[in-house]
C-alpha cells in the first residue's frame, strides 16, 4: 500500500512555471527514485518520466466553455520491475507487467508542485525549501536551473528522493498521446 501511495504521489505532480523556479511546458528525463521506510529499508527504482502541461477546453452542462490546464505524466519504471504509471491529475492508471494487471484510481492526494513552488523559499543558488500541507520539500536545480532533485518525507514516513538525469525541457515534437498507458487486452483490470 505504501508503494501505491508513493506512486500516486509521484504521478500527480502538477508542474507549471513559477516566479522563482522556471519550469517548462513539457519535459522528458530519466529518473532514479529511492524510497526509505521508517525501518531504513530502501527500495530503488529507475526509468523515464514524461510531463506535459496543456490547455483543454471543458464544456459544462449549460454549454459554456472553460479553459483549464491539464498536467499529464507518464512514469516508465524499468527496474526492478517494469510498469507504467500515467495520470492526468484526476485519474491514475498503473500498468504492472509482472502482475499482468491494470489498476485505475481516482487521485485524491498527491504533490501539487505548483502550490509548493508558490511558497518555496530559496536557501541557496540552486536549492529551495517549501512547506505545504505539513510536508517539507527540498527542491534542487541543476546548472541550467532545471529540475534536478526532489526530496520529501511522505505522510507514511517514507523518505522519498527523486533524482533527474538528462533532462530535456520544452521538446517541440512532444505529443500528448505518448503519455497514455496502454496495456495488453488480456491483463486483469482493477478499479480502485
* Domain CATH for 133: 2.50.20.10
Nearest alpha-carbon partner for 169 in 60, 23, 33: 23
pLDDT tens digits, 91-117: 889 999 999 999 998 876 555 666 677
User: How confident is the model at residue 64, as a pLDDT?
Assistant: 84
Position 190 in a domain: no
125 lies in which domain range? 2-57+69-183
Position 135 in a domain: yes
Position 85 in a domain: yes
Using the Cα atoms of residue 148, residue 168, residue 111 and residue 14 in order, give the sign of their dihedral. Answer: positive
Instruction: Grade residue 145 by pLDDT with cuts at 50, 70 and 90.
Output: confident
Whole-number Å distance between alpha carbons of 82 and 98: 7
The string over 155-187, giving b where at least 16 C-beta atoms fall within 10 Å of a residue's C-beta and e elsewhere, is eeebebbbbbeebebeeeebeeeebebebeeee
Instruction: Grade residue 3 by pLDDT with cuts at 50, 70 and 90.
Output: low
User: How confident is the model at residue 13, as a pLDDT?
Assistant: 47
Picking from 30-34, 61-65, 110-114, which range would have the lowest pLDDT averaged per residue? 110-114
- Count of domains in the chain? 1
Position 188 in a domain: no
Strands 83-87 vs 42-59: parallel, antiparallel or unpaired: unpaired
Of residues 143 and 3, the one with the higher pLDDT is: 143
Of residues 71 and 50, the one with the higher pLDDT is: 50
Position 189 in a domain: no
Position 31 in a domain: yes
**Residue 58 contacts residue 65 (beta carbons within 8 Å):** yes
Whole-number Å distance between alpha carbons of 29 and 50: 7
Position 62 in a domain: no
Position 50 in a domain: yes
Question: Is pLDDT at 144 greater than 70 in this prediction?
Answer: yes
Amino acid at each position: 500500500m505504501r508503494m501505491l501511495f508513493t506512486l500516486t504521489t509521484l504521478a500527480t505532480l502538477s508542474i507549471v512555471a513559477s516566479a522563482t523556479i522556471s519550469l517548462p511546458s513539457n519535459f522528458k528525463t530519466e529518473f532514479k527514485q529511492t524510497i526509505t521506510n521508517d525501518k531504513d529499508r530502501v527500495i530503488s527504482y529507475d526509468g523515464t518520466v514524461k510531463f506535459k502541461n496543456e490547455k483543454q477546453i471543458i464544456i459544462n452542462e449549460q454549454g459554456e466553455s472553460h479553459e483549464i490546464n491539464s498536467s499529464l505524466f507518464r512514469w516508465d519504471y524499468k527496474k526492478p520491475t517494469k510498469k507504467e504509471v500515467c495520470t492526468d491529475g484526476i485519474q491514475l492508471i498503473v500498468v504492472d507487467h509482472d502482475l499482468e494487471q491494470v489498476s485505475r484510481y481516482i487521485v485524491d492526494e498527491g504533490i501539487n508542485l505548483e502550490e509548493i513552488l508558490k511558497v518555496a523559499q530559496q536557501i541557496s543558488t540552486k536549492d529551495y525549501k517549501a512547506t505545504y500541507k505539513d510536508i517539507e520539500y527540498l527542491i534542487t536545480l541543476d546548472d541550467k536551473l532545471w529540475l534536478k532533485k526532489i526530496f520529501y518525507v511522505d505522510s507514511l514516513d517514507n523518505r522519498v528522493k527523486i533524482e533527474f538525469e538528462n533532462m530535456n525541457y520544452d521538446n517541440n515534437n512532444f505529443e500528448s498521446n505518448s503519455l497514455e498507458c496502454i496495456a495488453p487486452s488480456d491483463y486483469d483490470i482493477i478499479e480502485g
